[in-house]
Structure formats: C-alpha cells, structure tokens
Amino acid sequence: MSRFAAPIAEQIWDMKYRFKEADGTPIDLTVEDSWRRIARDLAKVEEDPVAWEEEFYGALEDFKYLPAGRITAGAGTARQVTLFNCFVMGTIPDSMGGIFDMLKEAALTMQQGGGIGYDFSTIRPRGADVKGVAADASGPLSFMDVWDAMCRTIMSAGSRRGAMMAVMRCDHPDIESFISAKSDPARLRMFNMSVLVTDAFMEAVKADGSWELQFDGKVYHTVQARDLWNRIMRATYDYAEPGVIFIDRINKSNNLNYCETIAATNPCGEQPLPPYGACLLGSINLARLVADPFGADAGLDEAALEKLVTTAVRMMDNVVDASKFPLPEQADEARNKRRIGLGVTGLADALLMVGLRYGSEEAARQTERWLHRIARAAYLASVQLAKEKGPFPLFDAEGYLASGTMQNMDEDVREAIREHGIRNALLTSIAPTGTISLYAGNVSSGIEPVFAYAYTRKVLQKDGSRTEEEVVDYAVQMWRDRFGDADLPEYFVNAQTLTPAEHVRMQAAAQKWIDSSISKTINCPEDISFDAFKDVYMQAWDEGCKGCTTYRPNDVTGSVLSVSETADQAPGETADAPHPAEGGDVIYMSEPLDRPQALEGNTYKLKWPDSEHAIYLTINDIVIGGRRRPFEVFINSKNMEHFAWTVALTRMISAVFRRGGDVSFVVEELKAVFDPRGGAWVQGKYIPSILAAIGGVIERHMISIGFLEGEGMGLKSDPQAQVVNTDTPRGKACPSCGQYDMRMVEGCMTCGSCGYSKCQ
C-alpha cells in the first residue's frame, strides 16, 4: 500500500521533493527512498552512522517528523543547494558601494533558494545630505526598488523562488513612505514588509504622546505616535501590509541577547535573526501522534512526542554540518550558534481529534501544554548533545540563562544547561508548513486552523485535460473512516468562522514556549470595522505576541476562497457558494502555460511589396484538452530595419499566447493597424500595413488548426478559452498552477491546490 494518505500528497512529493535526474527520470522510486536518502545523509556525521540512519528513518516514517522543504528536497542529492530556509542579510552600509555589495550578496543567496530579510533603517532618509557629492540622498525606498528588480531577475532566470522581507524602524524619517509603499499595486511586489515597533513607541501610542523621527542622531520630524500607528493600521487594513514586529520584545527574550542584536526577520516572520543569521526548520506532525482519535481515550501520545522531538533535534543539529551556504559569513554564523527552528504542524487537526474547538480557552491551554512538552524535550535533547559533542561555540552560561526566555524555563532544564551547556542556541519556531502539510496528507498547516474540510481540486493531466479530485482535511478523513457520513460535531470550526480574538489567543498561547517566533495569519472578516481591526493588534501586543499579521479580504488583496462544505459543512455554515457579481465575464489571465520539450508548428513566408527581404513567421501550438491552440510565434527577417520591432512583436505576442484564454484579439488588433505611408495589394487584396499582413498570417494559422471558425469569425468551441470557470468563486490565481485557490496562510499567500507559496 502507498504511504500517502491522499492523491495530492503523492503529487506534491513527486513535484517538489522526489529526487530525479536532470531529465526527470526518478531516482527516488518511492517515498521510502526519499526518507532513506534524508536519513542516510544526516546520519553520516555521526560516529555510528548506520545506527543513527535507522533512528532518523523511523522519525521520518509515516510523516511523523517533517523536515522543511529544502532539507526534504536537497539532503543526500549532492547538489549545490542550501538546506537552510531563512536568512537575514548583513547590515546595509549607508554608502553606495556598500549598498550594492549587499545587493550582490542577496542575489547569491536567492540564487540558492534562500529567503532573505533586510533592515532598511540603516540607509539615510530621502533628502538627507550626501557629503562629497553635493547631492541629496534618494532614501531607502529607492534602493528597495533595486532589490525588487533583482528578485524579479533571479526568478525570471528560472531559479527557485526566494521571498524577501523588508523592515524599517518606526522612528526612521522615511517610515511614512515605507508604510504607504504597497498602495501602489505595481511597486515592491517581491517584498513582504513589516514595521519594527519598539516598546517606547507602543507606550507613546497608548499615552497619545509625540514621536520623533530621526536618523544618526538628527531629528527630522515630530509626529503624534497614535497618528503614525493609525497610518500603519490603515495601510494594513487596506493592503494587508505592512505587518508589525515588536522588536524590543524579541531582543529581550532572545537567548543570545548577550552577543547579538536582532533587527530583521526572515520573510514569514517566524525567524528573527541577526546579520547573516540563518535558520533551518522542521515540524513535528501532531496529527500523527494522537492515540484513539475521536474516541473516549483520545489524547496525544506524549512519550512518543518526547522521543520524536529528541531525534528531530539531533537530525536538525546535523544539518548545520551537512548544509552548504551561499556566503561564508552565513556558514560562520550558523556554526557559531547552531540555532534550529523545530515547530509543529497539524495542531488544529490534533485538537479536533481530542474533541477541542480551535480558538477556545481550553484549546489554548492544551496548545500551551503540548508546546511546553516539546520545548522541555528539545532543550534537554540539546543539553545531551552538548555533553556528547560540545556546546555551541559562543555559549556563555551566565548570559544565556539571564535572557527573558530562559528565565521562564523549568528550573531542572536551567540547571542542566548551567552544568553541561547546550548544543543549540535557539531551538523552537513555528514556520509556514503549507506544502509539507499537503505532502503529509493534508494535515492542518502549522498552528493555523483548518482552512476547509473538503474542496474540489482540478488536476492537470499530461494530455492537457483536467480531472477533478476531492481534497479532504486529514482529521475529517479520519472522522469519515470511523463514523462514515455522520455529521461533524459543533467543535469543527475553520479559519473563516473564528473571531480575530480567537486567532490571537492561539498565537499567544503558542508563543509562551517558542524561543524564536511564529508564522500565523489572523483572518479578519471583510466587514470588520477599522477600530475593531486596530484592537486585534493591540490585543496581540497585550498578550505577549512578538508580531502580528492579519488578512482582511478586499479588492486589493483579493477574496479568500469560499469553499462549499456540502455534506461535511461546518455547523451554521451555508453550502451555497457566492456567485460572481454582474459583469463578471472578464477573462482572467493565469501565469504562463508550461512549455513542453517539443511543439508542433508551421513556418510561413510573407513577402511585402517593395521590401528586399521576406519575413518568416513560425507559429508553434500546444495541445490542451485534445485541441491545438497557438503558444508562441517567432518573426524573422534579414532586413535589419525590421529587427527591433520584429523582436518586440515576437516577445509580446508569445507572452499573450502563453497566458491562455481567448487570444484571437491579437489578430484583430494587428489587422487594424494602418501605415500612414500606405499599404499594399497582396494577392488581389488591400492590406493596410505590414503588421496587418502579419495578423492575417496568424489568423490563417488559427483557422487551419481549428482555433478560429474562419476569417473574421470567432472562436471554435474551445474548453480552455476561459482560464477560469465563471461559476467558480475566485480570489487571486495561483502563479504556479493557475487555479483560484490562493489563501493567506501563516503570513503568506499559499495555494491549496499545489502548495505554491510566495515565501518558499
């Protein structure tokens, strides 16, 4: 039998984690091969690698421990990739040369797939003097535009995505421009953005005091703190950004505050890191550890949990030695502190299995208890590793135990650290787990609530057709297996039915035993008032969270996907999906269709009168749903006068064709172009311009392949003419698979159908 609990799980493994030859031939024949590859690679640094390989394999088996995607995809492949997920880059110098040195480092890191974070507060504000050149500074926002362009270039070159986080202190003179930057929908699309909020600022907000905006000791402006806070809130209310990071709270609790200062986070916010800081991630799948789910004796197997945590810490510590790093500074930082980020996934499913309603006070208490057990087990495992292999090089017992987090730790754990040291400076973090949660059988993601109990997913087949399959939440499937078609109990709730206060309650409960931070989205209803929205952030501050990320659907951010629960709908919810508004017949374009290795096509010769050289048009087609449609065009001529515009036309028409949908308008637009110098008679017919002639050639090709009915006529029946079905509720299309299944999860837009995440 397959180890996969659902078809989507196997598809995710095949697409993202399965080790293959360059030509796509599988090397990992089964998921067991993938587990074996990872276990063997991480055990090779041990004195007894054979024994530890078996131990590590046992932890990976049946998706109990889930290393982050980069480990799962890269370990044991001998590829030049980093196994670390998160990087904060070096401090940006306030000089042109230093800034572009940092840009180069960012490109090298992103080229290997690392997500990066930057604090742009170190760059002087717009309008400040630039000594020696008699000029004014352009400010950090202008350089962020450069970073944004770099990220687009890296992505267009075919490299793995790498998200970026930009942060700025709340007292920087350009903070107001930073806050409003995302109001321009075309600007800084490659960045997530957050404001570094200090304790002093929050005190000024509550007291309605004044607030100085300063740089390098010079005060540029004085504003009212509450006015600035309201600007942050209004931008987030309208555009879902910027997020808020309580930076002083992060530094006070940091185990390493005696030897580092944190000023930025990775793209999803769960890893506050120092300059050149790096962190690897992994998750305990709580849903797999519940004994007697939905039964009278349902409960988490805590002995199994502690054993699994102990093994996972050892595996992650070994990754520090096994991984490659884009920059030597990152390698030094990782090995000097050996920080890891062990978290959880499947929390909401586990709570359901033991009969608890996510967001309730009892669920919050249970979450806190479970994460306390994980923290204890992780710290004691790291102490044992320190006894065996030595503590991390920068360990100082007095400084370490004086940190805010360690002062709250159990006394027996503190005493063990005092006596033996500890191998890993920080151990816990709750990261985005969207893709690996799908891979593990569609368990609930991280500490997020279940998004939807079941939904229909369209799957692209090799012949271009699409089939439909039901994707069911892991806990719901277990309920079905045990109780058949019995109605779901009232404690089954999802992300849309919870109040924002319940979201915050769960985040705060988890934060108490997480030494880094948490990636969590607080879903807010579209009609939430602005004052109530602001209260969410104040509640997060008051309850001890280290940051806050919300998502309120609107015209800018897109709507959260509505899912019909049908037979398994949650109590009190309607199974009727909303219908598109009047006038909803717009053709929505998805990301470009994938190009197969080989395409069928035709080449046409176009001879324009009075032109010395002919123009050659090659039009290639793709087969989708058993029908041919134009996919790309190449226009060539020996006439150098034509070179620039034929290249431009080639690129633009091909880009349109590759987006799918009804592309017949290309023909009509070209045929309508008139040359003021006059057209020409071709084969007894007047053609108003050479561009119109090209349009005519494309039209004849479309007719010949059955895409158009005939000259001047519309489309033939084409099942793929509309990119989306107009009776489907739509938010934003997934840039990877094109399906309208994007939702905000753990601070990042994530596709429920293919696992794509902007932040991976």
**613-664 pLDDT, tens digit each:** 788 999 998 887 667 889 889 988 877 777 788 888 888 898 888 877 778 8
CB 690 within 8 A of CB 615: yes
- In sequence order, the β-bridge partners of residue 130 are 135
pLDDT bracket for residue 439 (50, 70, 90)? very high
Q: If you average pLDDT over every residue of the chain, what do you get? A: 86
- Opening angle at CA 57, ends 51 and 58, nearest 5: 95
Please tell me the predicted confidence (pLDDT) of residue 114: 72
Reply yes or no on whether 268 is catalytic.
Answer: yes
Please tell me the predicted confidence (pLDDT) of residue 158: 42
Render pLDDT for 666-713 as a digit per residue (tens, 0 to 9): 888 888 787 777 778 877 778 888 888 999 999 999 998 888 877 766
pLDDT bracket for residue 462 (50, 70, 90)? low
Which uninterrupted H or E stretch holds 522? strand 522-523
Structure tokens at 187: 């600007």
Mean pLDDT to the nearest integer, 347-368 = 97
Q: Which of 86, 170, 268, 754 is catalytic?
A: 268
One-letter amino acid identity for 372? H
- Give me the percent of the chain exceeding a pLDDT of 90: 57
pLDDT bracket for residue 560 (50, 70, 90)? very low
> Where would I find the beta strands (DSSP E) of 639-745?
680-682, 685-687, 742-745
Q: Which of 241, 260, 270, 699 is catalytic?
A: 270
One-letter amino acid identity for 4? F
Place of tokens 């009190």: 572
Q: Which of 251, 255, 257, 266 is catalytic?
A: 266
Q: Is the pLDDT of residue 159 over 50?
A: no
Distance CA 584, CA 586 (A): 6
CB 57 within 8 A of CB 297: no
